[in-house]
Structure 1
Amino acid sequence: MDVRNLNSVPAFSTKDGSEIRELLAHRNSCIVNQSLAEARLPVGGSTDPHYHPLCEEIYFLLEGTAKMQVEDNVQDVGPGDAIAIPPGERHQITNTGSGTLRFLCCCAPAYEHEDTIMVDDWPK
């Protein structure tokens, strides 16, 4: 069993520009097929539009409100919302609230910078 406390995990920036704390993944635990991280975006902040050819993601919002875009689908989201992001679909999340946006990000297979493809042809 591996236990990681959020307060003891160092933060780093992902390729899409979000700040994450990777709680569990093959890099720091016995987990081999997925990863779990907490992500944070400042007020008005956004991830850069991107997609993952291999990884499917689940975002689970803990604090704050946001605009979530997956391809042409845009929805307002908030605490308690879970968002499914299939592999290969372009996506972006924007903090629309008055405080830091905090959400959990589950990736299967585990998050890797190499599986993050930035996009220029983003539908607005």
Structure 2
Amino acid sequence: MNTVNIKDIKKISLPKRDIKVLVGTGSPINSLNMTFGVATIPPKTSMDPHAHNKEEEIIYILNGDGFVYIDGNKESIEQGSVIKLPIGSSHYLFNNSSDDMNFTFCFHPPVIIGSYDKK
């Protein structure tokens, strides 16, 4: 399979966010080299600080605004922002808006969903 619709993907609940994996191991579109999906953070909520010790991550903010914290540095984010997270960086997002924040994520190499080190 090379195409999928997000409405057909089962939601996975992680601490303070929900995700749908569209491409990657165990998803309808298998990939040995990457993981790609979408995530939602509720209003006025932040993810827990964490790090991926083997994967690089790219995040694209679809809607909402707030902050990203990377290794203790705070940066503003909004619709259209792109975030590059180096391997091993401690990071989390805070949704400062009154609506859900939605974003895409992409990992290389592929990640096992929910496997990260809390920081």
RMSD over aligned CA atoms reads 1.4
Q: How does 1:1-124 map to 2 (within 5 A)?
A: 1-14=1-14, 16-28=15-27, 29-113=29-113, 115-119=115-119
Distance in 2 (alpha carbons) for counterparts of 1:30 and 1:89: 26
Higher strand share: 2
Name the SS for the 2:53 alignment partner: coil
Q: Tell me the amino acid that sits aligned with residue 19 of structure 2.
A: I
* Superposition TM-score, scaled by structure 2 size: 0.92
* Superposition TM-score, scaled by structure 1 size: 0.88
- Alignment length (residue pairs): 118
Q: Tell me the amino acid that sits aligned with residue 68 of structure 1.
A: V
Structure 1 runs (4+) greater than 6 angstroms displaced = none
Q: What is the percent sequence identity of the aligned residues?
A: 25
Q: Give the CA deviation at 1:58.
A: 0.5
* 1:87-111: CA deviation from partner (whole Å, max 9, x where unpaired): 1010010100111000001011122
- Cα distance change on mapping 1:34 and 1:56 into 2, 3 Å: same
Unpaired runs of 5+ residues, structure 1, are 120-124
- Cα distance change on mapping 1:72 and 1:25 into 2, 3 Å: same
Contact kept? 1:10, 1:21, Cα under 8 Å:
yes
Unpaired runs of 5+ residues, structure 2, are none
